[in-house]
Copies of this chain bind each other. A is one copy, B any other.
Amino acid sequence: MIYMGHSMSEQNGSFTGYYFSFKGTVRALLRGSGQVMFQESAYTGLLILVGIFWGAYSASVPQIAWGALLGLAASTFAGWIIGEYRQDGEQGLWGFNGILVGCAFPTFLEPVPLMWVSLVCCAMLTTWMRRGFNNVTAQFKINSLTFPFVFLTWTFLLSARVLTATPLADMNSPALIVHIGGQIDWSIGSFAIYWLKGISQVFLINNWITGIIFLIALGVCSIWAAIYAAMSSAIALLVAVLFAADPADVTAGLFGFSPVLTGIALGTTFYKVSWKSAIWTVAGVVATVFIQAGMDTLMLPWGMPTLTAPFCIATWLFLLPLYKMDDTSNPDMTVWKGQKK
C-alpha cells in the first residue's frame, strides 16, 4: 500500500501537491496503532501489532489480528481520500479508531464476507466522524478520543440484531438481570495475570503476555505512559475486588482496559506528570471503574459491550472542569501529545 498525502491549502496556506512514500505510509499506519494508547511512535505501534497477533493467534481467532490491520489501513486510507489534514495522518490520528473497529468487528461478529465489507466501511467512517465529533467536543475544549470507534461499533452491533446477514458471534444475550459468575483465584500469580489482561483488553485481547508486550510498547516511547498504564490497571483491579465486582469480568481484565486509557490520558497526555495531576488521575481511574460497572448494567437490555466508552466518559469528566495542575499546562484539552488542533 502506498501513502498518498496532499497538504490542504486551507491549513497551511500552500498547496504542495501529492506525493507518494512507502516509508511514510508504514509509519503513519504504525503510529495509528500507537495512538490508541496516545503514543506517536511507530515502534510502539509495531509492538502493539505484535501483541495483537500473539493474542489473536493464541486464542485461535486470527481474524481479529487481520481485522486490526485492515481497519488500520482503511481508516488511514479514508483520511487521505477525503483530504483530511495531512499532519493528523502523519501522527497516526487517522488510524487509531479504525484499528479498534478492526479488533471489535471480528470479535463480536461472525467472519462472513459482509462483515469484512462492513468493517472496512465503518473503519473509514471513523476518520470522517472523528472530524465531526471533534468539531462538537472542541466547543468544550475536549477531544473526541475513541468515541468515533465506540459510536460506530455500537450502531453496527445494534443493527446486526435486525440486519441478520452479519450474525453476531460472541455477544451476551439481552437481559435485565446481571449474571454474576466465575471465581477469583486469590494467588499472587493469578492477580498478576488479571492485571496484565487489564492492559491487553485495550485491544480486546484476553492474554497476559500481550499485556506485557503492550507495557513494553508503551515504555519504548514514554516510560511514564508505561508506569501509568501499569498503575491504572492495578488500581482498577483493587477497586473492582474491593467492591466485589463480577469475578468473570475481573479475571478477564474487563475492569482494566478503560482505566488504563484514562490513566495514560489524564496522567501523561492532557496533564503533565506531577504530584497534583497524579492525584487527579487516580481519582479519574477509580471513577472509571464505577462508570465501567454502571455501563455494564446500562448495556444489559441489549447485551452490548461497553467498548472504551467508560474511558471516554471518565476522561471527559475529569478534563471538563479545566482545572489547572500547573502554570504551564495547556488549558485546551483538545490537544494531545504530538497533536496540533
A binding-site residues for B, Cβ under 8 Å: 82, 114, 121, 125, 128-129, 131-133, 135-136, 139-141, 154-166, 174-178, 180, 240, 242-246, 249, 283, 286-287, 290-298, 300-302, 316-323
Do A131 and B287 touch (CB < 8 A)? no
Given known contacts A135-B140, A140-B135, is B243 in contact with A114 (CB within 8 Å)? yes
Mostly helix, strand, loop or mixed at chain A's interface?
helix
A302 to chain B: which residues have CB within 8 Å?
297-298, 300
**Copies of the chain in the assembly:** 3
Given known contacts A140-B139, A293-B162, is B178 in contact with A177 (CB within 8 Å)? no
Given known contacts A176-B175, A243-B166, A245-B163, is B294 in contact with A135 (CB within 8 Å)? no
- Cβ contact of A165, chosen from B139, B243, B295, B301, cutoff 8 A: B243
Give A154 Cβ to nearest chain B Cβ, in Å. 7
A316 to chain B: which residues have CB within 8 Å?
132
Give A192 Cβ to nearest chain B Cβ, in Å. 22
Chain B minimum-CB-distance residue to A114:
B243
Given known contacts A174-B177, A242-B165, A290-B156, is B320 in contact with A136 (CB within 8 Å)? yes
Expressed in whole angstroms, the Cα–Cα distance for A139 and B129 within the complex equals 17
Chain B minimum-CB-distance residue to A243:
B163
Chain B minimum-CB-distance residue to A175:
B176
